[in-house]
Amino acid sequence: MLAQRPPMGWNSWNTFGGAINEQVVRDTADAIVEKGLKDAGYEYVVIDDCWSLRERNEEGRIVPNPEKFPSGMKALADYVHSKGLKFGMYSCAGTRTCAGFPGSFDYEFIDAKTFAEWGVDFLKYDFCFKPRLANGPILYNRMSMALKASGREILFSACNWGSDEVEKWIRSTGAHMYRSTGDINDSFQSFKNIAMSQVDKIAYSGPGCYNDIDMLICGMHGSGNVANGGCTDIEYRTHFALWCLFQSPLMIGGDLSKMDDFNLDLLKNKELISINQDPEARPPMMVNGGDRPVFFKHLANNEYVVAFFNFTDRSDTWGGDTVEFYDLGLTVASGYGFRFRDIFTGEDTGVLTGRLSTKVDAHDCKIFRGTLVEK
């Protein structure tokens, strides 16, 4: 069974856009292994839009652009597999992809067979240029069945940007993850708005079909295809923490040949990844809203997370940031308190009975993980 945990990997779009080619894919596969990302759990190497010629061949097959992919897709898939990784590609439910290359509408079964022959393990499936009267459930269901009929196990990654209340029907189509928002860009505003738009919808996400809040921008620093000023390292950490807390698929979008040490370490942060991969996949409860949100999340094995975010531009909050345990349902009479650990500093809070207080700087976050203990 696929996607029993949020899928992890790399996708070409955020950095390379139309400038994708086989060398980039090979170098990225090498880097995923050499830089320890494979050991951290990253598995899928995905080519997004712009990999094919503008028209199908006489047999109706999509043809990889020979200038970008001179060795062909089969050889590239073999290379990625030789690294112990999985190979992903992209198509679209409409007649054209978003960048105007051939889409799979009406060619679903032919394309699924082609992908399977090449050794594809993952298909991202977009929603541009679809006939107005053809609806998402039909189109995603059709490609999902085509992939299942292809003879190869292929993870199906839907991308309709959250339209038509996708969270309510996408699991029924057999998809394993689904984009729920418009495209991210490399800015604090972008990732903050994307994450907060999904707070009420994470409850639909879980094993077998995860809400995908888009590819990561960690370490892009204002370069690449979705550039918009870039973020500070602290902001990239807040971004990654939100994606982990919401258990989104983790698809790295940065250029691994240029990834700085801070962001490489962040992408490999064991504590955050283990929250992201938690098998129970329970949505976080929002204990406090607004621009200083606080979340409480149950993990497997009786562990809990309290996550504080400061989306304001101010670091100097009067009184600090506090979560009262009665707001989580824990009363003084229970005889229990929480013992937490700050996952970034390792600091132990000791047993706390009434509340957890901290101080979160502007655009930063604090993530605590712990258990209930008898007082």
User: Which residues have CB under 8 Å from 112's CB, separation 6+?
Assistant: 123, 143, 146, 147, 149, 150, 154
User: Which residues have CB under 8 Å from 318's CB, separation 6+?
Assistant: none
The answer to whether 43 contacts ligand GAL (rule: CB under 6 A) is no
The answer to whether 177 contacts ligand GAL (rule: CB under 6 A) is no
- 99/328 with CB nearer ligand GAL: 99
Give the HSE-up count for residue 201: Cα atoms under 13 Å, Cβ half-sphere: 23
Cβ atoms of residues 113 and 148 within 8 Å: no
How far is Cα 190 from Cα 368, in angstroms, rounded to an integer? 25
- 155/356 with CB nearer ligand GAL: 155
| Shortest distance (Å) from residue 102 CB to ligand GAL | 13
What residues from 12 to 41 belong to the interface with ligand GAL (CB under 6 A)? 13
Among 22, 43, 48, 255, binds ligand GAL (CB under 6 A): 48
Among 164, 183, 233, 271, binds ligand GAL (CB under 6 A): 183
Interface pattern 81-110 for ligand GAL (x via CB under 6 A): ----------------xxx-----------
- 80/128 with CB nearer ligand GAL: 128
Q: Extract the tokens encoding 114.
A: 């082609």
126 among known catalytic residues: yes
- 216/343 with CB nearer ligand GAL: 216
Active-site hit among 111, 121, 126, 212: 126
| Shortest distance (Å) from residue 224 CB to ligand GAL | 13
Looking at the DSSP bridge assignments, the partners of residue 288 are 294
The answer to whether 212 contacts ligand GAL (rule: CB under 6 A) is no
Active-site hit among 30, 78, 164, 183: 183
How far is Cα 13 from Cα 194, in angstroms, rounded to an integer? 17
User: Which residues have CB under 8 Å from 267's CB, separation 6+?
Assistant: 37, 40, 42, 216, 218, 219, 240, 250, 252, 259
The answer to whether 126 contacts ligand GAL (rule: CB under 6 A) is yes
The answer to whether 49 contacts ligand GAL (rule: CB under 6 A) is yes
Cβ atoms of residues 295 and 287 within 8 Å: yes
Q: Classify residue 178 by its DSSP letter.
A: E
Among 47, 76, 80, 159, binds ligand GAL (CB under 6 A): 159
The Cα angle at residue 217 between residues 215 and 221, in degrees rounded to 5:
160
- 144/160 with CB nearer ligand GAL: 160
Q: Active-site residue numbers?
A: 126, 183
Residues of the shown chain interacting with ligand GAL in the complex, contacts defined by CB under 6 A:
13, 48-49, 97-99, 126, 128, 159, 161, 183
